[in-house]
């Protein structure tokens, strides 16, 4: 039983998985924030281009 407890204390594989999960979550937050900031400007640029185009002449 003492051997099991000492092995359990030294096992860090769960801590590594948690660290990778935290890093992935942080990266996701950064990507969502960046897309939110760039998305509005990109939408405005495409709307400007769409408004600038003239429809073809009717024949």
Question: How many Å apart are CA 12 and CA 30, to the nearest integer?
Answer: 27
Q: What is the pLDDT of residue 18?
A: 85
- CA angle, corner 26, sides to 25 and 29, nearest 5? 90
How far is the CA of 1 from the CAs of 8, 13, 14, in angstroms? 11, 20, 21
Q: What are the pLDDT digits (tens) for 5-24?
A: 777 677 666 778 888 999 99
Task: Please determine, for residue 37, whether its predicted confidence score (pLDDT) is greater than 90.
Answer: no
What average pLDDT does this structure show over 40-58?
85
Q: What is the pLDDT of residue 39?
A: 85
Task: Please determine, for residue 54, whether its predicted confidence score (pLDDT) is greater than 80.
Answer: no
């Amino acid at each position: 039983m003492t051997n099991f407890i000492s092995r359990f204390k030294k096992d860090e594989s769960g801590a590594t998985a948690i660290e990778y999960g935290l890093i992935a979550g942080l990266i996701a937050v950064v990507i969502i924030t960046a897309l939110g900031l760039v998305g509005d400007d990109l939408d405005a640029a495409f709307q400007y281009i769409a408004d600038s185009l003239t429809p073809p002449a009717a024949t």
